A and B are shown apart, each in its own frame.
Chain A
Amino acid sequence: MRKNGEKSEVGSLKSADRSDFRLQASRFRRASVVAWQILVGVVALALWQGLVSLKLLDPFFVSRPSDIARRIATWIASGTLWPHLIVTLEESLLGLVVGAALGIALGFVFARSPMVARVFDPYIKMLNAIPRVVLAPLFLLWFGLGIWSKVALAVTLVFFVMFFSTYQGVRDASQVLIDNVRMLGATERQLVRHVLVPSALTWIFSSLHTSLGFAMVGAVVGEYLGSTRGLGYVISQAEGTFDTTGVFAGMTILGVVVVIVSAAVTRLERWLLRWKRDER
């Protein structure tokens, strides 16, 4: 993405060559990272499979990769996976959106009004310290067995991550930028829009990956503790029958989904923070 000629006052041919070279180098680096990633995965799985085949590990406790793969294939082929996966994704997404909206909004309010921040500070800390598993039965009671008890659990996890990073991001906005925009005629609202929000976005996005993981955790734990659908339900059913293959298959799917969604978030982040890419 970097065009070298831009830095010097007059672009030169030499720097164009150099940027070509750089592009190639970075492509090569990316390819070698992917190669290593695949290698690590293959070695780990082979080791697992090998240890089970050699009877050094008992498949009753840890299953084996080939069985897990076969199980996943069956689920996909029979179509039993999709309803569960869709429910889990739905809950996570709702939890993420609601939690992020609340966290960002409250983070802004706290950052902009120190009095509110000071008054509520101990309560925020108290709430954040509550182990979420303790809340799950309460939410079941309040919101029922359906998706909303899981969404609520995801929200409690996502909210705090988003809240703290927004608060930090707004407080962190450069005073010179604020002064400059005010001198250029910005109203309080314009200041928020043109300086504080973009400044906080950096922080918000860097925590979006964490939040996404938390949202999935909230949804799955909620399902695990009481539901009739979702990946958490699948895993808990498998555990109930000592079906370790089913448990590992469920966890694998969860992991793969997180990696895919995370890659999408990275793309979005790269686009939204494109101004940062060439920073020295």
Chain B
Amino acid sequence: MGVGPHAYKEMPALELDRVCRDFVTPAGRTYRAIEDISLAVEAGAFVAIVGPSGCGKSTLLNVAAGLLPPSSGRVRVDGVDLVGLNRRATYMFQQDALLPWKTVRDNVALGLTLAGVARAESHARADAWLARVGLTAFTAHYPAQLSGGMRKRVTMAQNWIIDRGLMLMDEPFSALDVHTRQRMESELLALWDEATAELAENAENNHALRAQRAPRFKRTVLFVTHDLEEAIALADEVVVLSAGPASRIVARHPVTLDRPRDLMELRTTTAFVDLYRALWAVLREEVVKSQRHA
């Protein structure tokens, strides 16, 4: 199994075990979105899921988040069967999910507010995160006053501040223009590398501390995208789903590119291009199939 250099040998952070999910169509028929998906994501790994549009990628993520119960099969989080919402995960949605009636600061602090953290502390921590994503000047703005890229950064801060081990991301950058998108990808990787670097440092300095705190810093990412380039550039492993309905996993491919990665240059390196070719050969077939269905 392809896992990145940051991976640790323990139980998977997320495990889907023969998961199926059906929907009832308005016509009363049963539509199977995903079929027999078994996937284990090691703690600390960055896994990207690619597939043609309508292949049930979002369904898979919603099942992992606990927003949708699987029709059959099981979901385990850190080895424990998932019941209800996945409290160890954050979810970055494709659409804008910031509360339009809250300021940028209140949006970032939201997870802390909900957990009952005192206002002064949650604001201080939100401000620290806003500084980290370069939005200090916009703390008192409302989401509607920001550009699309800025809103994504606020969303990242909103999710990272509550510090959960598993990060589910559903095409978070697909609505952005190419350049903003690349920048957001770089920022995401920087945050992720930073978190894992903190972990490594702690591990070196203090073994007891590592045992105690490692899960807090270890960030596992499950990143859904339809863009193969994005998947390879970001992930340790790329999982390809077949065209829907009843999507299955058709390929899993490790990405052995070194980290940290320079996304500006990465896409033209031979290693990247070779990977792209190998995976595109698989994905292309599914894309063609999905277009035939449509």
The distance in angstroms between the C-alpha atoms of A7 and B147, with both chains bound, is 6
Q: Is B111 an interface residue (CB 8 A)?
A: yes
**Cβ-defined partner of B99 (8 Å) among A179, A182, A195:** A195
The distance in angstroms between the C-alpha atoms of A5 and B188, with both chains bound, is 26
- CB neighbours of B33 from chain A (8 A): none
- Minimum CB–CB distance from A72 to chain B (whole Å) comes to 42
- CB neighbours of A275 from chain B (8 A): 100-103, 142-144
Complex interface residues of chain B between 78 and 105 (CB less than 8 A to chain A):
85-87, 89-91, 93, 95-97, 99-103
Pair B115/A9 contact, Cβ less than 8 Å: no
Pair B100/A194 contact, Cβ less than 8 Å: no
Q: Is B225 an interface residue (CB 8 A)?
A: no
- Minimum CB–CB distance from A82 to chain B (whole Å) comes to 40
**Cβ-defined partner of B111 (8 Å) among A176, A184, A273, A279:** A184
Complex interface residues of chain A between 177 and 213 (CB less than 8 A to chain B):
177, 179-187, 190, 194-195, 198, 201
Pair B145/A6 contact, Cβ less than 8 Å: yes
Pair A183/B91 contact, Cβ less than 8 Å: yes
Binary interface encoding of chain A residues 255-280 relative to chain B, with 1 for a CB under 8 A from any of its CBs, else 0: 00000000000000000011110111
Pair A9/B111 contact, Cβ less than 8 Å: no
- CB neighbours of A177 from chain B (8 A): 97, 99
Q: Is A8 an interface residue (CB 8 A)?
A: yes
- CB neighbours of B124 from chain A (8 A): none
- Interface magnitude class on chain A: 20 to 34
Q: A176-B95, A194-B110 given as contacts; is B85 within 8 A of A183 (CB)?
A: yes
Pair A183/B114 contact, Cβ less than 8 Å: no
Q: Is B259 an interface residue (CB 8 A)?
A: no
Whose C-beta in chain A lies nearest to the C-beta of B141? A6
The distance in angstroms between the C-alpha atoms of A276 and B145, with both chains bound, is 9
**Cβ-defined partner of B114 (8 Å) among A3, A179, A185, A280:** A185
Pair B162/A185 contact, Cβ less than 8 Å: yes
Binary interface encoding of chain B residues 96-134 relative to chain A, with 1 for a CB under 8 A from any of its CBs, else 0: 110111110000001100110000000000000000000
Pair B144/A276 contact, Cβ less than 8 Å: yes
- CB neighbours of A273 from chain B (8 A): 101
A contact patch SS? helix
Q: Is B266 an interface residue (CB 8 A)?
A: no
- Interface magnitude class on chain B: 20 to 34
The distance in angstroms between the C-alpha atoms of A183 and B141, with both chains bound, is 23
The distance in angstroms between the C-alpha atoms of A185 and B162, with both chains bound, is 9
Whose C-beta in chain A lies nearest to the C-beta of B134? A9
The distance in angstroms between the C-alpha atoms of A3 and B140, with both chains bound, is 13
- Minimum CB–CB distance from B115 to chain A (whole Å) comes to 6
Pair B111/A185 contact, Cβ less than 8 Å: yes
Complex interface residues of chain A between 1 and 47 (CB less than 8 A to chain B):
3, 6-9
The distance in angstroms between the C-alpha atoms of A190 and B162, with both chains bound, is 16
Q: Is B65 an interface residue (CB 8 A)?
A: yes
Pair B145/A278 contact, Cβ less than 8 Å: yes
- Minimum CB–CB distance from B154 to chain A (whole Å) comes to 12
Whose C-beta in chain B lies nearest to the C-beta of A182? B85
The distance in angstroms between the C-alpha atoms of A279 and B111, with both chains bound, is 24
Interface centre among A185, A190, A195, A279 (most CB of B within 10 A): A185
- Minimum CB–CB distance from A241 to chain B (whole Å) comes to 53
The distance in angstroms between the C-alpha atoms of A154 and B183, with both chains bound, is 58
Interface residues of B (CB under 8 A from A): 65, 67, 85-87, 89-91, 93, 95-97, 99-103, 110-111, 114-115, 138, 141-147, 149-150, 158-159, 162
Interface residues of A (CB under 8 A from B): 3, 6-9, 176-177, 179-187, 190, 194-195, 198, 201, 273-276, 278-280
Could you list 23 examples of A-B contacts with CB < 8 Å? A3-B145, A6-B141, A7-B147, A8-B147, A177-B97, A177-B99, A179-B67, A179-B97, A181-B99, A181-B110, A182-B67, A183-B85, A183-B86, A183-B89, A184-B90, A184-B162, A185-B114, A185-B115, A201-B101, A274-B142, A276-B100, A276-B144, A279-B100
